[in-house]
């Protein structure tokens, strides 16, 4: 019986740690539980919005329609984009001793033509339509 709760402990640890960082960086200025959940979950479990809702249901018992997330992201972009950019920029500037020239970030997926997924490569959404192949998410 003791071991049945270990998955929750393993999952809650990263959420607690990343939640503390989220607050310290000052993202809490965007007063939204959904924003907080999206950011933290994205760092823990890098998947599509639809898979994010599955994750929330499986590990937190939370039911959120994926369409609600899409509508929220539109609202976030129109109302909080500038604030999020400033909140992200200030700590980065401090860490890099005021030496930022330009920062670019992009995420994509790469698929592998192998039969079975492993710890690194998992099946999922593919922009190339290769949904049956294991893949990795790559951030640059």
What predicted TM-score, i.e. pTM, was given to this entire model?
A: 0.62
Per-residue pLDDT averaged across 92-99, rounded?
85
40, 109: one domain: no
74, 117: one domain: no
Length of the chain: 140
30-57 pLDDT, tens digit per residue, is 999 999 999 998 888 878 898 999 989 9
Residue-wise over 64-83: b if at least 16 C-beta within 10 A, else e? Answer: beeeebeebeeebeeebeee
121, 72: one domain: no
User: What domain range includes position 15?
Assistant: 2-101
**Which among 14, 3, 80 is positioned nearest to 46, based on CA atoms?**
14
């Amino acid at each position: 019986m003791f071991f049945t709760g270990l998955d929750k402990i393993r999952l809650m640890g990263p959420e607690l740690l990343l939640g503390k960082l989220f607050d310290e960086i000052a993202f809490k200025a965007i007063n939204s539980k959904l924003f907080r959940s999206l950011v933290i979950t994205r760092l823990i479990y890098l998947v599509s919005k639809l898979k994010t809702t599955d994750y929330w249901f499986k590990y937190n018992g939370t039911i959120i329609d994926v369409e609600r997330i899409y509508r929220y992201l539109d609202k976030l972009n129109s109302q909080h984009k500038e604030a999020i950019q400033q909140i992200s920029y200030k700590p980065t500037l401090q860490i890099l001793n005021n030496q930022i020239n330009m920062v670019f970030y992009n995420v994509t997926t790469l698929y592998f033509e192998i039969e079975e997924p492993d710890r690194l490569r998992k099946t999922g959404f593919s922009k190339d339509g290769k949904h049956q192949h294991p893949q990795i998410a790559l951030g640059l």
